[in-house]
Every structure is written in structure tokens, then in C-alpha cells.
Amino acid sequence: MPTYITTPIYYVNALPHLGHAYTTIVADAYSRFRRLCGDDVRFQTGTDEHGEKIAEAAAKAGESPRDYVDRIAVAFRETWPLLAVEPDTIIRTTDGEHIRTVQAILQQVYDRGDIYFSEYSGLYCKGCERFLTEKELVDGKCPDHLVEPKPITEQNYFFRMSAYQEWLIDHIKANPDFITPERYRNEVLSFLSEPLEDLCISRPTSRLTWGIPLPFDEGFVTYVWFDALINYLSGIGYPDSPDFEKYWPTAEHVIAKDILKPHAIYWPTMLRAMGVAPYERLHVHGYWNVDATKMSKSLGNVVRPRELVETYGVDTVRYFVLREMSFGLDSSFSGEAVLARHNADLANDLGNLFSRSLTMIAKYAAGRVPERDSGSALTPDDRELMSALSAMVIQYRECMDEFRFHKALQAVWEVIGLLNRYIVTNAPWELAKHARQTDRLRTVLYFLAEALWKMTLVLGPIMPATAEKMAAALGMADRFAHAVLDDALEWGTIPAETALGTVGPLFPRLEKKGEAKAAPAEPAKANANTNRGAVADEGLIGFDQFKAVELRVAEVVAAERVAKSERLLKLTVRAPEERTIVAGIAQHYTPETLIGLKVLIVANLKPTKLMGIASHGMVLAAKEQTADGGERLVLATVAGPVAIGSRVA
């Protein structure tokens, strides 16, 4: 199946920001998703380079319009690889091919009698590059640009848009998916309940020369919206190219609510006048605000894609915007929100699940995906996991198809939670201790590998680089390159004996330090040393710093004195994996009294060697000053029954 997906073509009067990045990431994630479904995808973005706004911006910059648009178009083009966005076409409205197509269409519609010459008076908003109706104004001003539109009386050419009003209403009503989400469909229908005016599609060259000349009157250039919308056709070679035949019937446009009217009203009526079928679907999203305020240059809060990626990493940025915004509604961006999602969803939930599972396969199955034990029956846990995985893939597919990205990701993260629980309940480290449980151990490890492979497939469109890393670590890099989503619906797709590759941490924790910065290879960055600095500053630490310390409930299963040390005990604890911790409590506890005790540990401390023994963590204890100037240590424990390995927060 072909798929044609587009973003708006962006005005080159401003540099790319979070808003442009979001729409383009959405279109990229969707095109990767469709490719994963086996579709032949054409993904197009581009720049809108004509019109008054651009001519003015060029003059302000002291450049010719041509030099100016060339410069800014490059800034857009260079942004996409930073965001792992891979369009097939990047169109510019100053391309010769596009200009020829616009002129041919104007001539055709003119010849059919749908363009006429007349005088018009109206209220023009330069920011919107269109005439506004009285009804659209708020306190006499354009609600988007907060300026009073200028009254203009001019002789111009008009497109007979009103002639297609009834047809458009019928089309929208007959095709519930034509404009989604529904609130925007309703908005358009409500607008169409009033008579539609014809569309002014020219500007006299006395006022503006930076535009495409009308083919039938040299004294005029084309109105920028009539020019811009046609990019969706010229980019695929309308009218003669086989690409047009192939892709146009599947066209899907992604836009924000600011340009709903041109896309939902001008564009379908223009297509109708040309005798071209309307696009298939229009997906309309809301606006990103920053810290709950409108993003604007004058407020100085414009978020730039390059800075975002440098601070948080490209996959975190992609995940964040897709997970955080409910498609269709406005959303607020903040650095804290990105950090919180990075540390909780990515570093903790996904990252830990992945590294912990692979470590166990390395340790208990010599780094190869084991053969599932087919001799014994599946447990209820296994069945629950299998059906949750299939349900997740189906829900993911539905949600991605409907542009409900946050829901698709919610479904994936529910299964990540389930997998983390599956590990705790099946405790592979326990199974590994008993020879007669090796069959069960193999099955559990096999299920983990299979589940992680399915995760890799569904995460590909959202976080391409992470999914690639995951595939390589699972020994499935080759398969990943040609995988399809249907693979994730089958069971047993990761072959037994597959040799795992190596994996570093997928998402090193990030901490906030004025500017957030990566803490590579040192997940426990916010431990004593770093905190001390922060405490000295203000006496307080941020929640993220606290969250970076992974506290867990651990059960002591063995304890012994460390030879030649008065102070140290060697403890074996389960949290829930087994680990050794060397604790300086020998003067306060005898080894026997500790067995079975549930203590609190810092689980993500960098390993260290004490008296030649590697210690993986730290046991927490209260330190009391005694009357004789000494110290008494009392181990911290939990007040009631709780599963070992539980996180303390």
C-alpha cells in the first residue's frame, strides 16, 4: 500500500523551533510506522518562501529575498537530521518545477471560469497572510497575531470558492475521518454553516513582487496560500508523474490548528475546481506552549530543536513530544517535564528492564537466547504476558494509525511494567540455583528475549536510534532492517541460540544542573559527592537528584565477617537479584542476626572494592551519637511486609 504524508511547508521568516519540530517528528514517526506496516511511503516537508511576510523579513535582514530564503531554507533542511527525521522530499516554493505547476493550475482553473477579476475591500492580517472576517476578530484584532488587520481595497483576481461550499459540507459529513480529531471537524462544519466568500488569490505587483506571476496577467503575483497549498501536488509530480497517480489517493496532511482554514476549506475546494480528488485525511494538532506561556520571540522563550537535542538527546526529545501531547490539544513544554520523563520512563522503566534482562541472559544462558522448554506447560504468568503483548501490538497499531501517539506509548509502557513484574515473580536468579529448574529458567529467559524484541519493533518509529541499539544488543540487527510489525504479532520470532551483542545503558540518567546534562556511564551521579555540592549551594536538592538515587528493599540471605576486618561484614542480599554488599556494621550486628532481615539499600551505587571484595551497593543505617562520643548504627528497614526489590521513594 502506498502512503503519502506531508507537513506544512514552513515560512522562512523565522528559524525552526519546537512547533515545527513537533509536526515534523509526528510525520516522521507516522511514516516510519507505515513502513513498518509494509507500506511504500512518501514523506514530504518543505519551505514556503513567497509572500509579503518573507519579502519584509528579507528587507529587514538587509538581504535580497532570494539570498534570504536560500539561507533560512538551509536552516530548516539542516534541522531534520538532528531530529532523526528523514523526509523523502524537501520542497521549496521557489523551485522551478513548483512554480510551473502553480501557473499551470491557475491557467486551468481560470480557463474553466472559476477565477474572475473584481474589486475587494477587506481586513488583511499580514501575519496570517489572509483577509479575516469580522467574526474572526477578537477585540478588533487578529487572535493569533494580536494586531488590528489593515483595511485594504484592491482590484484582484478571485477564486470561486463559494461554488464548492455545498460539496465540501457533504464531503466532510460523508467522511468522518476527513478532518480529525473531531473537534476540528466540528469547527470547520460550524464555519461552513455561514455562506462562504470567494478567495482573493492575487496581489498587484505594485504592492508585492516576491511571488509567482499570474500566467494570465503580468500585473499580479499569486496569493501565497494558493501557491503554498499546491506544494502537496507539485512535490509528487502532478499531473503527469506516476508518483502522483500512486501517492495522491492516500494523501494525509499534518498541521496545527493555526492553519486549519486554508487546509480544510481553501485546499479541498481548489482541488475540486481542478478536478482532483480531495486528500484522504487532515490531522490537526494543538499548540506547544512553553512553561504554560505562548512561545514567542519577544518573550525570549523560543525552544530551538538543536538545543533540545544537545541537552536531552534526540530519542528522548522524540519520545517526550509524542508521549506528552494528546494529539489535538495544546500542551506545555518544560525542561523539568522532559527530565522527569527521561528518568522515569526511559532510564528507569525501559532502560532497566532491558539491561537487567540481557544481563540475566548473559549470566544464566551464556549470552544466547535459550530454547523455550516445550515439555512443560506454560504458567498463568506466561499466558498473561503473551496475551498482553499481542493486545499491546494491536492497540499500538490502532492508535498510531489514528494519530493517538500518547495512547500508543501508554500501551507499550503498560507492558514494560508487566515485564518488570514478570521478572520479580519468576525470579530467574532463584531458578538458576536449582538444577531441576533449568527448564523453567530457559522458558522465562526466552520469554524476556521475545518480549524485548517485540518492544524493539514497536519503538522503532518513535526512537529509531534506541531501537537500533536494542536490536543489535539482541543480536537481531539484520532482521531489524527488514522487520515488519506483523512479526510482533507472531510468537517465537527471536530464534533460539541467537547470540546477544553488547549493550551500554540505553538512557544514562540526566540531572538538572542549571542546564540539564548527560551523566554518561555513571547512573548514580546524584549520590553523595554531587549532592554535597548542591546542598552547599542552597541547602536543597531537586526531586530529580533525589530520584536518581535508586533505593530498594533488599533481603539479607547470607552474612559473614570479612577476614582481617573489625568493621566489615560481607552481606548477600536479594533486591530482587542477588548481589554482594560489604557493610561497615560488624561492630553493631552479628552475622546470624541479619539473615532474613529486610533492609534498605542504595541499588545504583558504582561498585567498589573493600578488602578485596566487590561491593554492589550500600546498606542504609541510622547513625546515633552515643554519650561516650562514639557511634551506634541501626539498620533502616521497612515497617510491614513488602516484596523484595520494591523501590523506595
The single residue of 20, 50, 253, 512 carrying the catalytic annotation is 20
Between residues 321 and 427, which has the closer beta carbon with respect to ligand MSP? 321
Between residues 11 and 403, which has the closer beta carbon with respect to ligand MSP? 11
Between residues 17 and 442, which has the closer beta carbon with respect to ligand MSP? 17
Q: Name the minimum Å distance from CB 45 to ligand MSP.
A: 10
DSSP β-ladder status, 608-610 and 2-11: unpaired
Length of the chain: 649
Q: Which helix (H) or strand (E) holds 395?
A: helix 380-401
Q: Name the minimum Å distance from CB 34 to ligand MSP.
A: 19
Between residues 9 and 431, which has the closer beta carbon with respect to ligand MSP? 9
Q: Name the minimum Å distance from CB 20 to ligand MSP.
A: 5
| Distant-in-sequence contacts of 203-209, Cβ < 8 A, 24+ apart | 203/52, 203/156, 204/154, 204/155, 204/156, 207/154, 208/51, 208/52, 208/55, 209/55
Question: Among residues 340, 329, 342, 320, which one has the least CA distance to residue 288?
Answer: 329
Q: Name the minimum Å distance from CB 27 to ligand MSP.
A: 9
Q: Name the minimum Å distance from CB 288 to ligand MSP.
A: 4
H helical segments located in 427-558: 428-431, 438-459, 464-473, 477-481, 528-538, 543-547
The single residue of 60, 173, 297, 606 carrying the catalytic annotation is 297
Question: Among residues 2, 53, 40, 4, which one has the least CA distance to residue 254?
Answer: 4
Q: Name the minimum Å distance from CB 128 to ligand MSP.
A: 9
CA separation, residue 139 to residues 126, 261, 558 (Å): 17, 21, 75
- Tell me if 229 sits within 8 A of 212, measured CB to CB: no
Q: Which helix (H) or strand (E) holds 92?
A: strand 89-92
200 is catalytic: no
Q: Name the minimum Å distance from CB 218 to ligand MSP.
A: 25
The single residue of 50, 125, 512, 570 carrying the catalytic annotation is 125
Phi, psi (deg, nearest 5) at residue 612: 80, 0
Q: Name the minimum Å distance from CB 8 to ligand MSP.
A: 4
| Residues in touch with ligand MSP (CB under 6 A) | 8-11, 19-20, 22-23, 48, 228-229, 231, 255-256, 258-259, 287-288, 295
20 is catalytic: yes
Between residues 129 and 555, which has the closer beta carbon with respect to ligand MSP? 129
- Tally helices (H) and strands (E) across the chain: 24, 28
The single residue of 50, 53, 98, 128 carrying the catalytic annotation is 128
* Amino acid present at 582: V
Q: For residue 451, with 0-12 CB atoms within 10 Å meaning exposed, 13-18 middle and 19 or more buried, which class applies?
A: buried
Q: Name the minimum Å distance from CB 604 to ligand MSP.
A: 36
141 is catalytic: no
Rounded Cα distance between 288 and 304, Å, is 13
253 is catalytic: no
Rounded Cα distance between 567 and 558, Å, is 17
Rounded Cα distance between 274 and 260, Å, is 21
The single residue of 60, 145, 433, 606 carrying the catalytic annotation is 145
CA separation, residue 101 to residues 5, 52, 129, 215 (Å): 20, 21, 21, 11
Question: Among residues 33, 265, 287, which one has the least CA distance to residue 163?
Answer: 265
DSSP β-ladder status, 331-333 and 288-290: parallel
* Amino acid present at 189: L
Between residues 230 and 586, which has the closer beta carbon with respect to ligand MSP? 230
Indicate the residue whose CB is closest to ligand MSP.
19
Q: Which positions ≥6 away from 509 have C-beta within 8 Å?
A: 342, 343, 347, 519, 523, 525, 526, 548
Rounded Cα distance between 548 and 543, Å, is 9
The single residue of 294, 363, 513, 517 carrying the catalytic annotation is 294
588 is catalytic: no
Between residues 266 and 446, which has the closer beta carbon with respect to ligand MSP? 266
Between residues 23 and 527, which has the closer beta carbon with respect to ligand MSP? 23
Between residues 256 and 483, which has the closer beta carbon with respect to ligand MSP? 256
Q: For residue 422, with 0-12 CB atoms within 10 Å meaning exposed, 13-18 middle and 19 or more buried, which class applies?
A: buried
The single residue of 50, 53, 98, 142 carrying the catalytic annotation is 142
126 is catalytic: no
Between residues 16 and 464, which has the closer beta carbon with respect to ligand MSP? 16
Q: Name the minimum Å distance from CB 18 to ligand MSP.
A: 7
Catalytic residues: 17, 20, 125, 128, 142, 145, 294, 297
